[in-house]
Amino acid sequence: MKKKVILAYALIAIGTLSFSSCSREEKRDAADAAQNAQDDVATAADNVASDIKDGVNQTAEDIKREKDEMTVRLEDQRKELKREIEEAEAKIKTASAKEKDRWEERREKLKGELNEIDDSIKEIRSDMKQDWKDFKRKLNQKIDDIQKDIE
């Protein structure tokens, strides 16, 4: 233990003598190098903050674009459903009693799907509370299911 303490003191003494033997110019150069390093770190931190801000802005722009595209897709689906409802109503007027029940059931199912589409459009246009990716995935599945039902 004593050897370690003596060795530590020796190293401190050598370090002190080495540093005190540095000329003023060397000390100034060391101080300038330290200041330059601090400036470089500050610049790098600013660059990282700027990159993060740019990334957030890009993500927000991507989500807005996706919301706009999804709204257009939903509006198209809405028009298709309305057309199908009108077609079902026309068939109800001319169908036999047995067929009339089937067409009325179909019309009610289509109206339910239309209400779901309307709710989804409202949710997209509002400040959404749920995760966009999850919402988009569920909505795409719903649109695909409705499209299969129409076909």
**pLDDT-based confidence at 19, cuts 50/70/90?**
low
- Please calculate the CA angle 48-54-58 and round it to the nearest 5 degrees: 145
Domains of the chain: which residue ranges?
21-150
pTM score: 0.55
> Which alpha helices (H) appear in 2-96, and where do they start and end?
2-20, 24-94
For CA atoms 65, 66, 69, 70, give the dihedral sign.
negative
pLDDT tens figures, 80-92 = 999 999 999 998 8
